[in-house]
Structure 1
Amino acid sequence: MSTITTEELAETTLLRFATAGSVDDGKSTLVGRLLHDSKSVLTDQLEAVERVSASRGQEAPDLALLTDGLRAEREQGITIDVAYRYFATPRRRFILADTPGHVQYTRNMVTGASTAELTVILVDARNGVVEQTRRHAAIAALLRVPHAVLAVNKMDLAGYEEKVFAAIAEEFTAYATELGVPEVTAIPISALVGDNVVEPSANMDWYGGPTVLEHLETVPVAHDLSHCHARLPVQYVIRPQSPDHPDYRGYAGQIAAGSFHVGESVTVLPSGRASKISGIDLLGEPVDVAWTTQSVTLLLEDDIDISRGDLIVPSKDAPATTQDIEATVCHVADAPLTVGHRVLLKHGTRTVKAIVKDIPSRLTLDDLSLHPHPGQLVANDIGRVKIRTAEPLPVDSYADSRRTGSFILIDPNDGTTLTAGMVGESFAAPEPVKDESGDDGWDF
């Protein structure tokens, strides 16, 4: 197994990517092949896979077992949970989310792709683009994943025919382009055999593009959010009971976007109170500046009321607070979301009561048409919603910030996640009509 020095690892960039596709398209096999052929599998892991494969009477190791770790997954032969894997090559570090293909677990694909910079969508060369392929492409577009790879798998079962690959690539690219996916790279592969996964295929000399790993190593990564509007959702207020720090009051959290500087004027939302940063603590040490993804503690010049759920932002570009939110959502719960539905809305570290005032449209995946005012969204539906919250929230557009422009809706009765939402995202939904759902006591 090849090794990477600490110095080499420090110089590589990080790519977060997710895999998606229909059941039996070979996602887990692709991930296993990627890990195996890139020498990213430990010896004991490979030996364990070989033992399980042999016990099933399989002559070759079933590489899908490298990611399908749950007992239920192995027994059913499908991926259920999101399996995260961390690996590195000399050129780049990777965080991989292997997401389920079964329509029942589309909600987990939303989870896996929500932080990804690239999505690998697999298609069985024998089946072509199917409904679940279109659903995954739509979700990737909604989540604004900047890069998409179409991996046309099982080319060995399609005779390695160029025309089969070309037809699928053309259909998918046209569909993804209409959704607004900025870039699609199509690669013909056989995950089982290893064609074009890590090593170029000798069976498809008509293809001159990159292998999957080569593309993953070279695709531009632009996840530096330090230039975005700075946002710090407060997770915890620190008041140490120590005689050495009797007046210490810090506001801890992970910076969602942008950077903060000592001396900078900031505003606390939704209250609107203003102050200046008097200090920044990072890992117990004072620093002058901190930026995106760092977990820090901010100290302010003024003693103002701040608690978990508040948002600290630079005063010069504070977002407006609102109780009326329009968004595109992916409904992930088994129970439908209906007009008049009472929910909890979680935005950042803040959770408030809310009500669904209108569902203007539902997206039809086959032709991307909009079904106006469906009245409800069922599991895996994508649609537009209008929500009224009990308290004002400082929300950004999802186009500006994937962190502070997103939210989830929660069932207040049992805590079930109902819906994942993207503020302001739209498939050109029709004009909303007057809400006639009636007064139900939650008319904020």
Structure 2
Amino acid sequence: MTPSRNSSAPATPTRPDEVTSLLRHAPLTRFLVARIGSITAQQMLMLAISWHMYDLTSSTWDLGLVGLFQFVPGLATTLIAGHCADRLHRGRMVAACLGLQAIAAAMLSASTLSHSVTRDTLLALSLALGAIRPFQMAGQQALLPMLVPPKLLSRSMALSTSVQQISVIAGPALGGALFAVNVVTVYLSSAALFCISAVMYAFVRYDYTPPPREPVTADTIFAGLHFIWRNPLLLGAISLDLFAVLFGGATALLPVYARLILHVGPQGLGLLRAAPAVGALCVGLLLARRAIVSGVGKKLLIAVAIYGAAIVGFGLSRWFPLSLCLLAISGGADTISVIVRQTLIQLETPDRMRGRVAAVNTLFIGASNQLGEFESGVSATALSVIGSVVAGGCATILVSIIWSRIFRPLAKRNALH
């Protein structure tokens, strides 16, 4: 059933007992627990790779390359991943991706123990992780709407985002603590969590009917891209994330801030990476109980501008507690953006297209995160670390203003439904 596109009709507020009812859906609960494990493992793994790279090379350029090497293979695999998500069992597809990431973490552990890990090793495995992740993300995004009734999707999205942020908090904090032992412990712990989560995803149950067999053509592969291009609201929502985080992301430079600017070491780096998730968790839990029911387009754009302002403040800060606070604000603002955008995308897309639309969304998210890390490394080399972060935050504010002008259907959207 295609959702109504009437943006003027306000959504009916959901009773508080409907929030509790989310966890009564066993497939959703299993999905959320598996999501906690997989994202915690990914956060630990990326924390270890970024610190390991900087420890080996002391180069912001190489930190940027880690992001670039995760992004580039996604250009080749993302649209294929979307086609697979619309043809295969989505839970088992995600499980296979997590199993491959467990193997990558185990390989890093073995090469570190044998003292054979090099800059090229880290870049090669970053390339492999970048090729795998689009399949995981397309499967996850297309799976969630199958687990709950449509009326609970917005709150389910908020709860899923909150779970993600719990993992983003736990992953870097746990990874930073495990660094006190050694980096091998971080890699092995990541591999174990990937395996546990893979098993849980494999047993997520939903009504799955294999689609009719049809030939794989350019039209079927690019169908999601064509669908988004013809829908200005979806195009505006997805491209907003691309450009806002592309310029405003500072994740790749956090090891430099931890070591040279704030002087807090790897444990402090774990807290810096976790701080945005603390703010995101608070906002996500609030929205899981009380959804945004009006003015969603305007609030989305305001949230993006707040995110950019918080990044500017972080770039200028020299005081560790203030830096943590500003990163938390950025995470809270970003969560509003994520929940509004992802809910709109799911409600505006028929299920037969969700995998391919999710794949395009994954490509844009990958560009904003991984390519954003490369952009941060390059601009830090050209402008200095602080100049790069401040300029990026200012660019994000400018993006929110421009998008409010050129994507009117998004800016004027009143209700999610």
Tell me if both proteins adopt one fold, taking TM over 0.5 as the criterion: no
Structure with the higher strand share, 1 or 2: 1
Give the number of the structure with larger relative contact order, counting CA–CA contacts within 8 Å between residues 6 or more apart. Answer: 2
Q: Which bin holds the TM-score, normalised by the shorter protein?
A: under 0.3
The structure with the greater share of residues assigned to helix is 2
Larger radius of gyration: 1
Using structure 1 for the length normalisation, give the TM-score. 0.26
